[in-house]
Chains A and B, each alone.
Chain A
Amino acid sequence: MSDKTEREPEIVGFACSYCTFKASEMAGSLRMKYPEKVRVIQVPCSSRVDPAFVIKAIFEGADGVFVSGCHPGDCHFIKGNYYTRRKMAALKEMFKAFSMDGKVKLFWISAAEARRFIEKITNMYNELREEKNAGKKN
Chain B
Amino acid sequence: MKAGIFICHCGHNIKHTVDVRRLSEYFKKIPGVEVAIDYAFVCSEPGQDIIKESIENKHLDRVVIASCTPSLHGDLFKDLLKKSGINPFYLRRVSIREHCSWVGDDIEANTEKAKRLILSGLYSASHYIPLEEKMVEVNKSALVIGGGVSGLNAALFLAKMGIKVYLVEREEELGGHVRLLNSVWPSKRSGREIVAEMVDELNRLANVDIYTNTTITNFEGFFGNYQVTLKKGEDEKKIIVGGVVVATGFVPFDPSIKPELHYNKDKRIVTTLDLEKGLETLEISKKPRVAILHCIGSRDETIGKSYCSRICCINAIKTAEALKEKYPESYIESFYMDVRAHPKGGEEYFESVQEKGVLFTRGNVAEIIPTDKSIIIRGEDTLLGEVYEKEFDLVVLSIGMSSPVENKALGQLLKISLDKDGFFLEAHIKLRPFDTAVKGIFIAGSCSGPKDAEESINHGKASALKLFGMLNLGYTFVDPFISYVDPKRCSGCRQCEEACIAKAIKFDEKLRIVKVEEAACMGCGLCNATCPSSAISLKGYFDSYISDEISGLLEIA
Contact of A80 among B71, B501, B543, B546 (CB under 8 A): B501
A-B contact pairs, 14 of them (CB 8 A): A10-B554, A26-B429, A33-B103, A36-B110, A44-B523, A47-B525, A48-B524, A48-B526, A48-B541, A49-B529, A60-B554, A76-B415, A77-B524, A80-B501
The interface bits of chain B over 404-439 (1 if a CB of A lies within 8 angstroms of the residue's CB, else 0) are 000000011001011110000100111000000100
Is B509 interfacial (CB 8 A cutoff)?
Answer: no
- Pick the interface stretch among A94-102, A105-113, A130-138: A105-113
A-B interface, 5 closest residue pairs, ranked by CB to CB distance from nearest = A28-B98, A48-B525, A77-B524, A36-B109, A47-B526
Question: In chain A, what residue has the closest Cβ to B421?
Answer: A112
Interface residues of B in 75-133 (CB under 8 A from A): 95, 97-100, 102-106, 109-110, 112-113, 116-117, 120
A59 to chain B, nearest CB (A): 9
Question: In chain A, what residue has the closest Cβ to B553?
Answer: A39
Is B549 interfacial (CB 8 A cutoff)?
Answer: yes
Give Cα distance in the complex from A33 to B102, angstroms.
8
Interface residues of B in 499-557 (CB under 8 A from A): 499, 501-502, 522-526, 528-530, 538, 540-541, 543, 546-547, 549-551, 553-556
The interface bits of chain B over 384-403 (1 if a CB of A lies within 8 angstroms of the residue's CB, else 0) are 00000000000000000000
- Please give, as numbers and ranges, the residues of chain B lying within 8 Å of A35 by CB-CB distance: 104
Contact of A24 among B99, B117, B530, B549 (CB under 8 A): B99
- Please give, as numbers and ranges, the residues of chain B lying within 8 Å of A45 by CB-CB distance: 524-526
Question: In chain A, what residue has the closest Cβ to B418?
Answer: A112
Contact of B499 among A32, A40, A60, A83 (CB under 8 A): A83
Give Cα distance in the complex from A110 to B501, angstroms.
21
Is B46 interfacial (CB 8 A cutoff)?
Answer: no
Question: In chain B, what residue has the closest Cβ to A18?
Answer: B437
Known contacts A31-B102, A39-B553, A112-B420; is-contact A77 B526 (Cβ 8 Å): yes
Question: In chain B, what residue has the closest Cβ to A49?
Answer: B529
A78 to chain B, nearest CB (A): 5
Question: In chain B, what residue has the closest Cβ to A19?
Answer: B417
User: Are A43 and B113 neighbours in the complex by a CB distance under 8 Å?
Assistant: no
Is A126 interfacial (CB 8 A cutoff)?
Answer: no
B426 to chain A, nearest CB (A): 10
- Please give, as numbers and ranges, the residues of chain B lying within 8 Å of A49 by CB-CB distance: 529
Interface residues of A in 33-60 (CB under 8 A from B): 33-37, 39-45, 47-53, 56-57, 60
- Please give, as numbers and ranges, the residues of chain A lying within 8 Å of B555 by CB-CB distance: 60
The interface bits of chain A over 9-27 (1 if a CB of B lies within 8 angstroms of the residue's CB, else 0) are 0101000001100101111
A93 to chain B, nearest CB (A): 18
- Please give, as numbers and ranges, the residues of chain B lying within 8 Å of A19 by CB-CB distance: 417
Is A92 interfacial (CB 8 A cutoff)?
Answer: no
Contact of A53 among B430, B540, B546 (CB under 8 A): B546
User: Are A41 and B524 neighbours in the complex by a CB distance under 8 Å?
Assistant: no
Question: In chain B, what residue has the closest Cβ to A28?
Answer: B98
Is B6 interfacial (CB 8 A cutoff)?
Answer: no
Contact of A56 among B104, B428, B550 (CB under 8 A): B550
Give Cα distance in the complex from A57 to B521, angstroms.
28
Given A27-B98, A29-B429, A34-B104; 18 other pairs, CB 8 A cutoff? A22-B71, A22-B417, A28-B95, A29-B98, A33-B103, A36-B100, A36-B109, A36-B112, A40-B99, A41-B550, A44-B538, A44-B540, A47-B524, A47-B525, A53-B547, A80-B524, A111-B425, A112-B425
The interface bits of chain A over 61-82 (1 if a CB of B lies within 8 angstroms of the residue's CB, else 0) are 1100000000001101111100
Is B481 interfacial (CB 8 A cutoff)?
Answer: yes
Give Cα distance in the complex from A74 to B526, angstroms.
16
- Please give, as numbers and ranges, the residues of chain B lying within 8 Å of A26 by CB-CB distance: 429
Query: Max chain B CB contacts within 10 Å: which of A22, A39, A80?
Result: A39
Is B382 interfacial (CB 8 A cutoff)?
Answer: no
User: Are A33 and B104 neighbours in the complex by a CB distance under 8 Å?
Assistant: yes
A77 to chain B, nearest CB (A): 4
B406 to chain A, nearest CB (A): 15
Known contacts A27-B103, A48-B541, A77-B501; is-contact A41 B98 (Cβ 8 Å): no
Query: Max chain B CB contacts within 10 Å: which of A32, A49, A110, A112?
Result: A112
- Please give, as numbers and ranges, the residues of chain A lying within 8 Å of B530 by CB-CB distance: 83
Is A120 interfacial (CB 8 A cutoff)?
Answer: no
Is B304 interfacial (CB 8 A cutoff)?
Answer: no
User: Are B550 and A80 neighbours in the complex by a CB distance under 8 Å?
Assistant: no
Give Cα distance in the complex from A39 to B95, angstroms.
11
- Please give, as numbers and ranges, the residues of chain A lying within 8 Å of B528 by CB-CB distance: 48, 50
Give Cα distance in the complex from A45 to B418, angstroms.
18
- Please give, as numbers and ranges, the residues of chain B lying within 8 Å of A61 by CB-CB distance: 554, 556
- Please give, as numbers and ranges, the residues of chain A lying within 8 Å of B112 by CB-CB distance: 36
Is A129 interfacial (CB 8 A cutoff)?
Answer: no
Known contacts A77-B526, A80-B526; is-contact A60 B551 (Cβ 8 Å): yes
Give Cα distance in the complex from A47 to B541, angstroms.
12
User: Are B419 and A39 neighbours in the complex by a CB distance under 8 Å?
Assistant: no
Query: Max chain A CB contacts within 10 Å: which of B105, B522, B551?
Result: B522
A67 to chain B, nearest CB (A): 11
